[in-house]
Structures are given as C-alpha cells and as structure tokens.
Amino acid sequence: MFDLVIRNGTVFDGSGGPRRVADVAVQDGRIAAVGPKLGKGKREIDAGGLMVTPGFVDIHTHYDGQATWDPFVTPSSWHGVTTTVFGNCGVGFAPVRPGKSPYLINLMEGVEDIPGTVLNEGVKFDWESFPDYLDTLASMSRAVDVAAQLPHGALRFYVMGDRGADHAEVPSEREIEEMARLTEEALRAGAMGFTTSRTTKHKAKDGRFTPSLSAREAELLGIALGMKRAGRGVLQVNSDFGPGEFDALEAASALAGRPLSCLLVQVDAQPKLWRETLDQIHGVRKAGRLANAQVGSRPIGVIMGLETTAHPFAAHPAWLEMRKLSPAERYQRLAADAELRRRLVEEPAGPRAFMADSFHKMFPVSDRPDYEPDANDSIAAIAQRSGKTPQAVALDELLARNGKGLLMLPFENYAYGSLDVVHEMITDSATVLGVADGGAHVGVICDASSPTSLLTLWGRDRTRGPKLSLEFLVAKQTRGTAEAYGLCDRGLLAPGHKADINVIDYDALTLKRPEVVYDLPAGGRRLIQRASGYRHTFNAGVETVHNDELTGERPGTLVRGAQQP
C-alpha cells in the first residue's frame, strides 16, 4: 500500500511530453509510480479534471533573511513553489564578521528594498562563515525546501572590510586567494553557486555601489579557481553587460568549468541589448560549455499605492508634510482635504518625482491584474478621454478602495508595450525562468506570484499574441529550473524523484490583486499576492497547501548542492 495515491489527474510530468490521465503514487517522500490504475494508498485524492504537476522550482529569490524567521516562505509557497534558491545578485548575509552586519543590511535594503528595521529585528546573525549560515538554515523546518548561494558582496566585504565596499582599492593577491578559499569552502558545504552583481542599478541604502561592481578580471578569475577546486556550483550574474563584460564573465565561467547563468531583462534605454547577450550565451553553448539566461515571464511591474515605497506623489512637498502620519491618517486627510488634493495634482512634484513622465506606461490594477495592458488603458489615455490631467487620474485611482487603489508601471520587459519580447525570451532554448525576486523589493514589486501567472497568462488568458502549451510551461518552471542548478531529484513526476507535487484546478486558477500587509518583523510592510486554484501542494509527499491555504506542515529542508534521484 502506497502512502498517497493521486488518482485520475491530468498529469503534466515536467518533461514537456504530452499530458496524460494517470495516477501518481507516493511512498516515503518519493514518487513510486505514475500510470493507470495503481494500487491502493493510505490516502487517496480524486484529481479527476485537475492538473497534476511537479512542485515549482524558483531559482531566483532573495529569501536570505526571511528564510531565517518565516517557516512558510510566503508568498512563494502560495503559488505552488516547493523549492527556492536565494543568495542571488551578489547580496546576502554570509559570511559576516561579528558586529559587521549593519553594512550587509544596508546593502540588502538598498539593492533589494527590504527595510533595514525588518532585517535588524528579524535576522539574528548568529553565524560568521557561510557554512555556519547553512547550518542555521538547516536548523529550521519549512513548508518549502531552500537552497543558498554565496554572494560576492558579502564575501568581498568579509575579506577586505570597508575597502571592499568603497571601491577605492583592488584586493591584494592574498585577499583574492582568501576569497577563492572561502568560495571553495562554501560550495563544499552546500552552496548552490557563487553570485555577483555588475550593474550600476544596485546601490546600498547609503548610495554606495554594490561591492562587486568594481571587481576586476583578476578577482573574478581568482574566485573562479575556488569554484574549480570545489568542482560544483553555478556562476550567477546580474550585469549591465557593457563592452567586454560578457567576455570577462564567460572567461571566469570557463576557468571554473562551471555553468554561467545571466539575469536577462529588456531595459527601455537599450531595448535590444538582451538579444545581443542571449546571442553571446548561445555562442558559449555552441562551444560546448554550459550557460543560460534567467528570464521573466511577465513585465517587471512596479506596484504603486499610497502605502508602497514609490508612487507619483511620494516626493511631492504636500505629501512629505504627511510623512509622520499613519497610512490611515494620511488617507483620511486626503479624503477630507480638497485643497491638499489640489496641491498634489496641480503644484510641481519636485525634481525627484517618481516616473513623472511615465503616465503613458502606468495602469490601474484591477481585481484580476492584467500583465499585458494596452496603452489605451493607461493613466495618460484615461486622462485624455476624461479631460483630466494624468496627475488627477492617478490620484483618483490611488484613493479608490478607501486608499488601497494600485497602479502598475511595467518597468522592464515592456519597452514596446506588449509581451512579444517576453515570448521570445521564454521560448528560447537557452533560457530558464528566474527573475521573480521572491522576498525582495517588498514595497514595490510582487513578482513571486509569477509561477501562477505563467500558467494563467500564457496558457489560457493571453489575447494580444500567441499562447503556449501547458506542457511547455510546466516543464519550464519545473524540470527546466531544477536542472539549471543540478537539482535533478525534483521537477519531474517519475519514479525515484522527490514527491513535490501540485494538484491544480486550472479552470479556477486565478491570480488575485496585490495587497499591502504589515506582517514582517518590527511591523514591516510588504506587498503580497494570493491565488486561488491550488487544491493541494505536497513537499516530499506531505501536504503543505490545501485549497489555497497553508496546512501548517513543514517538511521542507535545506538543499546542499546538486542532487540526484
């Protein structure tokens, strides 16, 4: 008798092969069999008319801090995710010398928009080395499996101190050797990879560029030698890909003999650069080396509300006068004071007004968010039709729903006003899904819900271009992401593989409207987004989600390095 049998579901096994109606049997946390009319189970679930998929694997998150205090790792666990990988983009919390955590908090707050008060309260920093950090992660059970990578920023600061953060000096040969040694140590202890940031978009809260921005080729190659000695791990990079940059990163990857994984988005200022970078990745693959691009499945959408980090009036003098008021008090003031509303709309917003010239790319967020909005539905278009100013329309939208109204600004992956470029990205053979940023940008972005919108938008709801098969989409978010990090024991419904499983009512699968909550340590604020349609989610055969709600079970573990069935 099996521990669990999921009967008569429409199985999308993660391989990309055709769907089929079959039973899935689980024994001792592993898939025991997939086929028709399997034997009895201690528990049986009738999945007739429902999708049965592997658990989703999200390889690009920033739960480095949250995973030390939140056993349920939301929002990801609400969206069918059973494995998360963090430590991306060169930022994280280990290694760290005693008393030096404030800088790493400052860096994470600036780069990933996680409030310093939250991190100071929530992260205990009861570790120093990266192996110590992994041991801390391993000591807590969770609803999902977690895996961590060694971040360049923390490593450089640990070895060089303030010199490593100020960009005034290059590391000595001895310091580079120490970085290599610590990289090897981290990988042998179970780090999934080494990550670096090479983009000017990444700054600490105090305005300093991320430490790894100024790392020269000698430093990158030295660290690569540490990866080579360990013989494991992925080299993950976030870069602006200026002249010669890709060559330097590829040289490090080649020396290490390890896969190169590049974050890839379309930016408005250089809307074709992503294609040049992807062509370079294809060149690496043609030469017989492992490389991929981590891409998103929807626009990088900045969410704006009266309680979020950014909105069109956040730098306005009239708004700043209310900075000490609570969100409820601000809304009451705005609702009652017509003169205040007039000032916000008619008076200059100041030189730091957020995206003041982008009303043509701002859209109201409805109960069922549209991730491919049409320009005719923008704030600018609504203003033109109504005879109002864009500022007036934007303020009306933000004041709606008792001050809970939201706007979305597609910040990246939307230069041409459609998802045609994203379609090219996700269908390319050299790409994996990996820009969701779960746990980060908590006051401006809520893309951890991307596994849900991947299925609903691309498999069912898209109207402005071609859809994609569910077989392809499931494989992209399961086997594709798992294999990119050597997690070959999951992402596939096949005997011997880990019994991470979703049972989904696809007809009812719906992504809900984002909302602001105050549930982080120290009462910190974040954006969350729920979904409906997840009937069951299992991690190692243990049910963690039932009818869209967490069960409280915590079978998740720390994953240390590559895994085999």
Nearest to 470 by CA among 160, 66, 17: 17
Q: How many CA atoms lie within 13 A of 168 on its CB side?
A: 5
Question: Can you tell me the mean pLDDT for 463-485?
Answer: 98
Count of other CB atoms within 10 angstroms of residue 222: 22
Using an 8 Å Cβ cutoff, are 54 and 508 in contact? no
Q: Which residues contact 114 (CB under 8 A, 6 or more apart)?
A: 62, 65, 108, 439, 440, 442
Query: Which one of 454, 484, 514 terminates a domain?
Result: 484
Residue 165's pLDDT band, with cuts at 50, 70 and 90, is very high
- Which residue has tokens 């957020």? 354
Same domain, 215 and 330: no
pLDDT at 356 over 80: no
High-pLDDT (> 70) share of the chain, %: 100
In whole angstroms, what is the distance from residue 390 CA to residue 397 CA?
A: 11
Residue 454: CATH number of its domain = 3.20.20.140
Question: Can you tell me the mean pLDDT for 73-99?
Answer: 97
Same domain, 176 and 282: yes
Q: What is the pLDDT of residue 103?
A: 95
Structure tokens at 381: 């278009």
Determine the residue type at 287: A
Same domain, 220 and 112: yes
Question: Can you tell me the mean pLDDT for 479-485?
Answer: 98
SS3 letters across 74-94: CCHHHHCEEEEEECHHHCCCC
Q: What is the pLDDT of residue 5?
A: 98
Residue 18's pLDDT band, with cuts at 50, 70 and 90, is very high
Query: Which one of 484, 506, 533 terminates a domain?
Result: 484
Count of other CB atoms within 10 angstroms of residue 563: 18
Q: How many CA atoms lie within 13 A of 87 on its CB side?
A: 29
SS3 letters across 447-463: HHHHHHHHHHHHHHHCC
Please report which helix (H) or strand (E) contains residue 525, including its range: strand 524-528
In whole angstroms, what is the distance from residue 64 CA to residue 449 CA?
A: 18
In a domain, 505, yes or no: no
Same domain, 291 and 199: yes
Q: What is the pLDDT of residue 349?
A: 82
Q: What is the pLDDT of residue 277?
A: 96
- Strands 51-54, 501-504: pairing is antiparallel
In a domain, 548, yes or no: no
In whole angstroms, what is the distance from residue 342 CA to residue 318 CA?
A: 10
In whole angstroms, what is the distance from residue 8 CA to residue 24 CA?
A: 9
Sheet containing 300-304, strands listed edge to edge, beginning at the edge strand earlier in sequence: 300-304, 407-412, 363-364
pTM of the model: 0.97
Task: Give the count of domains, the chain.
Answer: 2
Q: Which residues contact 564 (CB under 8 A, 6 or more apart)?
A: 488, 489
Q: Is the bond preceding residue 75 a cis peptide, omega within 30 degrees?
A: yes
Q: What is the pLDDT of residue 354?
A: 72
In a domain, 517, yes or no: no
Same domain, 133 and 200: yes
Alpha helices by DSSP H, listed for 70-211, are 101-112, 116-122, 130-138, 152-160, 163-166, 173-189
Residue 306's pLDDT band, with cuts at 50, 70 and 90, is very high
In whole angstroms, what is the distance from residue 25 CA to residue 495 CA?
A: 9
In a domain, 129, yes or no: yes
What does residue 419 show for φ and ψ, rounded to 5 degrees?
-100, 20
Sign of the CA dihedral with 272 first, then 417, 436, and 305 last? positive
In a domain, 364, yes or no: yes
Q: Which residues contact 57 (CB under 8 A, 6 or more apart)?
A: 81, 82, 83, 85, 477, 478, 481, 482, 487, 490, 491
Same domain, 387 and 443: no
Question: Can you tell me the mean pLDDT for 283-301?
Answer: 97
Could you report the per-residue pLDDT of 109-155, keeping only the tens digit for each?
999 889 999 999 999 999 999 999 999 999 999 999 999 999 999 99
In whole angstroms, what is the distance from residue 541 CA to residue 554 CA?
A: 11
DSSP 168: S
Residue 495's pLDDT band, with cuts at 50, 70 and 90, is very high
pLDDT at 282 over 80: yes
Same domain, 63 and 211: yes
Question: Please, what is the average pLDDT of the chain?
Answer: 96
Q: What is the pLDDT of residue 168?
A: 86
Using an 8 Å Cβ cutoff, are 85 and 190 in contact? no
In whole angstroms, what is the distance from residue 301 CA to residue 320 CA?
A: 25
Q: What is the pLDDT of residue 164?
A: 93
pLDDT at 351 over 90: no
Could you report the per-residue pLDDT of 227-280, keeping only the tens digit for each?
999 999 999 999 999 889 999 999 999 999 999 999 999 999 999 999 999 999
In a domain, 530, yes or no: no
Residue 364's pLDDT band, with cuts at 50, 70 and 90, is very high
In whole angstroms, what is the distance from residue 545 CA to residue 78 CA?
A: 7
Range of the domain at 358: 303-412
DSSP 19: P
Same domain, 232 and 137: yes
In a domain, 500, yes or no: no
∠350-409-404 over CA atoms, to 5°? Answer: 85
Query: Which one of 465, 484, 503 terminates a domain?
Result: 484
Using an 8 Å Cβ cutoff, are 59 and 294 in contact? yes
Same domain, 384 and 295: no
Determine the residue type at 300: I
Determine the residue type at 543: E
Same domain, 373 and 329: yes
Could you report the per-residue pLDDT of 381-438, keeping only the tens digit for each?
999 999 999 999 999 999 999 999 999 999 999 999 999 999 999 999 999 999 999 9
Same domain, 266 and 315: no
Same domain, 314 and 456: no
Using an 8 Å Cβ cutoff, are 106 and 116 in contact? yes
Question: Can you tell me the mean pLDDT for 533-558?
Answer: 98
Q: What is the pLDDT of residue 194?
A: 98
In a domain, 390, yes or no: yes
